Amino acid sequence: MNLSMETIIKKAEILIEALPYIQKLFGKTVVIKYGGNAMINENLKNSVIEDITLLKYIGMNPVVVHGGGPDITDALNKFNIESKFVEGLRVTDKKTMETAQMVLIGKTNKEIVSLLNQKGGKAIGLSGIDGKLIECEKHKTSVNGEKIDLGYVGKVTKINSKLIEFIAQDEYIPVVAPIGVGKNGESYNINADTVASEIAAALKAEKLMLLTDVEGVKTSDGKIIPALTINEAYSLIEENVINGGMIPKVLGCIEALEKGVNRTHIIDGRIPHCLLLEIFTNKGIGTMIMKEKVLYHKNEKL
């Protein structure tokens, strides 16, 4: 198909718009939490994998942390093991933990690694068990004052980031399954958003990017908020503008920022090439949360 000169010039303008971001982010670490519909829909899956591969080829150090809830649920159903959730966390007995570990490390992780390799990347699959990458303890919670035993659900106590740094700063793309290890060697299932936030903080990443199934943080009248400071985010939580499942995502972003991450992003993984659109365009597509609204360059719109 012949492209018009106008279309060709437009493509060139898009590349030029990306240039200052490529310059600013060269050699920097970007932690990506990969989950939701972007892991299920084949077209979206393909676009995310292409985005991650491109980030590596133009000089960034992407680190992927993936979820896998639907895969775990499918496997549990096949084994006739009932799924139970408390405040969004899966109650994880020994059989559930064994299944989650088998699925996340043996299936989901290796599928992502394989897809990245097919696109020309060099991906290496890891879990928190490898090199005690993610040390954790039992997560404790209560509902209405009553303590609830979630079983083998973990709370991160330490990220041993040396292994990830070694891999990511070379030619490889680390792909991390959110399974942690306790002090006695027991395995724990951990929320992938939490793992991504903790790894980003440990690596002092330039960016933490959470792929979700929502467009971003919205105002009370439904408009996407392109950029927020920490103080603005807290105010919106108090005003109940940020509520429900968005609260833990926003708080995870804030915690990462307070531990040294420069920018955090909540973006819609249902949009093809969502990572490229958020990172390399002046306006972006989701919500960026940062300590202060500091521009990368004069044409950036926050």
Please give the chain's pLDDT, 302 residues, in tens: 567 888 888 888 888 999 999 999 999 999 999 988 888 888 999 999 999 999 999 999 999 999 888 888 889 999 888 878 877 778 888 999 999 999 999 999 999 999 999 999 999 999 999 999 999 999 888 777 778 888 899 999 999 999 999 999 999 999 999 999 999 999 999 999 999 999 999 999 999 999 988 899 998 888 999 999 999 999 999 999 998 778 888 998 999 999 999 999 999 999 999 999 999 998 889 999 999 988 888 888 77
Q: Which tokens in the block code for residue 139?
A: 């997560």
Q: What is the DSSP string of 163-212?
A: HHHHHHTTT-EEEEE-EEE-TTS-EEE--HHHHHHHHHHHHT-SEEEEEE
C-alpha torsion sign, points 47, 52, 53, 55: positive
Q: pLDDT digits over 74-123, tens only?
A: 899 998 888 788 777 788 889 999 999 999 999 999 999 999 999 999 99
Is position 21 within any domain?
A: no
Is position 6 within any domain?
A: no
Is position 16 within any domain?
A: no
What's the total number of domains in the chain?
A: 1
Is position 5 within any domain?
A: no
Q: Tell whether 189 is in a known binding site.
A: yes
Cα Rg of the chain, angstroms = 19
Q: Tell whether 90 is in a known binding site.
A: yes
In this prediction the pTM is: 0.93
CATH of the domain at 116: 3.40.1160.10
Q: pLDDT digits over 42-70, tens only?
A: 899 999 999 999 999 999 999 999 988 88
Q: Tell whether 69 is in a known binding site.
A: yes
The CA distance from 271 to 289, in Å, is: 20
Q: Tell whether 128 is in a known binding site.
A: no
Give the pLDDT confidence score for residue 1 in this predicted structure. Answer: 55
Is position 166 within any domain?
A: yes
Is position 51 within any domain?
A: yes
Is position 279 within any domain?
A: yes
The domain in which residue 152 lies consists of 27-290
Is position 7 within any domain?
A: no
CA distances from 69 to 152, 274, 287 (A): 15, 21, 24
Other C-beta atoms lying within 10 Å of the C-beta of residue 75: 18
Give the pLDDT confidence score for residue 267 in this predicted structure. Answer: 94
Q: Which tokens in the block code for residue 36?
A: 């939701």
CA distances from 116 to 33, 113, 196, 229, 257 (A): 15, 5, 19, 34, 28
Give the pLDDT confidence score for residue 2 in this predicted structure. Answer: 67
Single out the residue of 164, 191, 184 nearest to residue 29, CA to CA. 164
